[in-house]
Structure 1
Amino acid sequence: MLETLAIAGYRSIRDLVVPLHGLDVVTGANGSGKSNLYRALRLLASAGDDTVIGALAADGGLSSTLWAGPETISRAMRDGHVPVQGTVRSGPVSLRLGFATDSLGYLIDLGLPKADGSLRTLFARDPEIKREQIFAGSLAKPSSLLVDRHGPAVRIRDGDWRNAGRALATYESVLTEFSDADTAPEVLRIRHQVRGWRFYDHFRTDPAAPVRSPRIGTRTPVLDHSGDDLAAALQTIIESGGQDRLDRAIDDAFPGSRLRVEGGDGLFQIELRQPGMLRPLGAGELSDGTLRYLLLVAALLTPRPPELMVLNEPETSLHVDLLPQLARLIVTANEDTQILVVSHARPLIDALQDAGDAHNHHLVKELGETKLEGQGLLSTPAWNWGTR
């Protein structure tokens, strides 16, 4: 289980370390930084499949995603005695992301390339991976480091430190370039972990959405992040022994209703039979809220639970009366997987706290900086970014 999430230098997040407990809810007013935390976590996950540079470019590039405030915020600024103002930068431009469990942790430091007039390339604006570390326990320190990447050089601790054997390009991550299970099993473990994280964010349910049309289906133990393979995912749940759980989830939200999947000629489509209706309704006839709830059911009842599932504003399009049922569904899924919910819907937040042991993290803005409300020195998890 992730116990710590650390982000520094990303949009409104200057330096934030969040303790995690298994079922966590991130809340806050509009503009407080909830979406930035969610996007930073997605960016961190992209290091596991060699797409972190591309994901950062798609997010607007490093220059537009960096913390835009002053490098440091003095006490006088916080007290209002002096205005917030820039100073001469003392450290390098840096976007840093990391996490830790009770046994292993990982961090990555991204920065800008050095100006080199002799190097002719059209990729001169690409960010570079400056530093990566894998460490034992929850804190990176010299004695706990297992893998240490500094620029292109990588060293691995195998009793004593040894060079990894080849230099890495600035866009290559340790997690994707080393796979020696004998000398660096922790690399494989971290890579497998982050690749297994699942993110669900704003399923498409408009009239032209692919999920509303019959689709060719194959066994689908994991709902795609788009949700387009909904029918196949629901049928996989049924054939994996989850019929009773699925029936309970549907009946809890829509009393007396029954869901089934039709698969004629390999084309899968869902049908929802409701009390008083003479025929079942297909996906193309369902309301946005009903269809979105079915998508969340398919995600949360997965027969292959991930180590971490992140739901960004799952209450979108749902009627407030469905939020307690969604909360119960999330709490049930939390028995098998760690879940992080980003939401500003108070009924859902309250229902999660009533139905399970949800920990609430309320984000606030102070001088443009996203902070965790009530967090002080004693309640902030220990974290060390190290130096380049």
Structure 2
Amino acid sequence: MLRTLAVENYRSLRRLVMPLRELNVVTGANGTGKSSLYRALRLLADASRNGAVAALAKEGGLGSTLWAGPEFVRKDRPVQGTARRGPVTLRMGFAADDYGYLMDLGLPLPVASMFSKDPEIKRESLWAGPFLRPASLLVERVNSQVRIRAESGGWERGGPDLQTFDSMLSQFADPQRAPELLQVRERMRSWRFYDHLRTDADAPARQAQVGTRTPVLGPEGADLAAALQTIQEIGSAAAMAEAVDQAFPGSSVEIQESAGRFELAFRQYGLLRPLSGAELSDGTLRYLLWVAALLTPRPPELLVLNEPETSLHPDLLPALANLVVTAAKETQVIVVSHSRPFTASLQALADDLHTIELVKDRGATTIAGQGPLDEPPWKWPSR
């Protein structure tokens, strides 16, 4: 389980060190940095697939994602630009009970290349334990070189130099000398994000789709029918039936198959025939998508949900909260939401809910009520 998430200089996250527990809900007013936090988590996960640089490019490049405020902020003085003292850096990392990882991205050296705006990976660190100490470092990447902690306690060269745009998570593999790196990489690759489950009129979930066993719902929900049928066959069919009945009393979901294509059939109390996916309201379809996502027979290490209450009637929020709490029994969950009724529904069901409220202070995202001594221990290594 992740215990700490740290981000520095990403959009409004000038410096954020966030404690995490088993079930976490991140709240705050519009513009306080909830979306930036969600994107930072996705960016960190992309590093395990060597996609951090490409993901930054889609956001406009390093220059457009960096903290836009001054390098140093003093509350007794007005906000103003100053001469930069340190290097341009975007840093992000996490710490769990057993291992931690961080990545430091910066500006490239001037080169004659059409890719000269791509950021470079300046440093990566993997360590043992909940916080970084020199003695706990296991694998370290400085610029292009990777070194591994030897059994003697010293350092060994990892192998050939890496390209500046390649992460050691994806491009370096040594199961004999650095098995921990492979373990952390696979954990990060299992992280699952949901933020764009389509319910529009042309949404694939409304149409019949070729069905195969689907233990993990796709990011847009196109394979909804197959995912629900998979839950019925190898997951918890009882939990699925209960979730549907709690939201829509007397209703049930069936999956109809024709020539290998699967289609939703929603039986609602009082109707003589089932409704197809094309006939469902946006809210009903979205709730069924969350049923498929949260009752997955293959739980991830980390499940991150971005505003799952969108398009749902307030009456459905307790049922959705129950789904989230059920999922948290099998996996660590982070929910990003600005809905107070939804947060209240979660609090009513989960005694151990960890609520994190984001606020803005001079343009920078901070955690409400968190002082310097309240932060989890965290240290960024120098370049």
Question: Aligned runs of 1:208-357 on 2, under 5 Å?
Answer: 208-356=202-350, 357=352
1:174 pairs with 2:146: no
Q: CA deviation at 1:269?
A: 0.8
Distance 1:374 1:242 in 2: 40
Measured after TM superposition, the shift of residue 75 of structure 1 is 3.4
1:46 aligns to 2:49 (yes or no): no
What is the identity, as a one-letter code, of the residue corresponding to 2:50?
Answer: D
Pick one of 101, 104, 117 that aligns with 1:106.
Answer: 101
8 Å contact from structure 2 (residues 196, 219) kept in 1: no
**Aligned mates of 1:135, 1:304 — CA distance in 2:** 28
* 1:110-129 equivalent positions in 2, closer than 5 A: 110-115=105-110, 119-129=111-121
| Equivalences, count | 380
> Which of 369, 373, 378 is residue 378 of structure 1 equivalent to?
373
Offset at 1:345? Answer: 0.6
Give the aligned CA root-mean-square deviation in angstroms. 0.8
Distance 2:78 2:173 in 1: 50
Shift of 1:378: 1.9
Read off the aligned partner of 1:63 and give its amino acid letter. Answer: G
Which amino acid counterpart does residue 341 of structure 1 have in structure 2? V
1:66 alignment counterpart: 66
Q: CA deviation at 1:203?
A: 1.1
Aligned-partner Cα distance in 2 for 1:85–1:137: 39
SS at the partner of 1:31? Answer: coil
Letter in 1 for 2:92: L
What do the CA deviations read for 1:188-235 (whole angstroms, capped 9, x no partner)? 111001100000003111101111111111111111111111111111
Measured in 2, the distance between the counterparts of 1:326 and 1:369 equals 31
Q: Please state whether the residue corresponding to 1:143 is helix, strand or coil.
A: helix
Residues in 1 aligned to 2:159 and 2:323: alpha-carbon distance in whole angstroms: 48
Q: CA deviation at 1:385?
A: 0.8
Question: Aligned runs of 1:9-158 on 2, under 5 Å?
Answer: 9-76=9-76, 82-115=77-110, 119-158=111-150
Identity over aligned pairs, percent? 58
| Residue identity opposite 1:104 in structure 2 | Y
Deviation at 1:157, TM superposition (A): 0.6
1:325 partner letter: A
**Are 2:185 and 1:191 aligned?**
yes
Which segments of 5 or more consecutive residues in structure 1 lack a partner in the other structure?
77-81
Task: Kindly provide the amino acid, as one letter, of the partner of residue 364 in structure 1.
Answer: V
CA distance in 1, matches of 2:304, 2:46: 14
Match of 1:79 in 2: none
Matched letter for residue 52 of structure 1: A
Deviation by residue 1:108-163 (Cα, 9 ceiling, x = unmatched)? 00111012xxx421111111111000011121221111011000011011223100
- Normalising by the residue count of structure 1, what TM-score does the alignment of the two structures yield? 0.97
Kept in 2: contact 1:202–1:314 (CA 8 A)? no
CA distance in 2, matches of 1:380, 1:308: 22
Per-residue deviation, 1:93: 0.7
Instruction: Give the SS at the match of 1:247.
Output: helix
The one-letter amino acid of 2:64's match is S
- Tell me by how many angstroms 1:300 deviates: 0.4
State the AA in 2 paired with 1:154: V
Indicate conservation of the 8 Å contact 2:235/2:296, yes or no: no
TM-score by length of 2: 0.98
Could you list the runs of 4 or more consecutive aligned residues of structure 1 that deviate by over 4 angstroms after TM superposition? none
Structure 2 residue 156 is matched with structure 1 residue 162: yes
Note if contact 1:93-1:111 (Cα within 8 Å) is conserved in structure 2: yes
CA distance in 2, matches of 1:262, 1:158: 58
Unaligned 5+ runs, structure 2: none
Paired residue secondary structure (1:9)? strand
Equivalent residue of 1:135, what SS?
A: strand
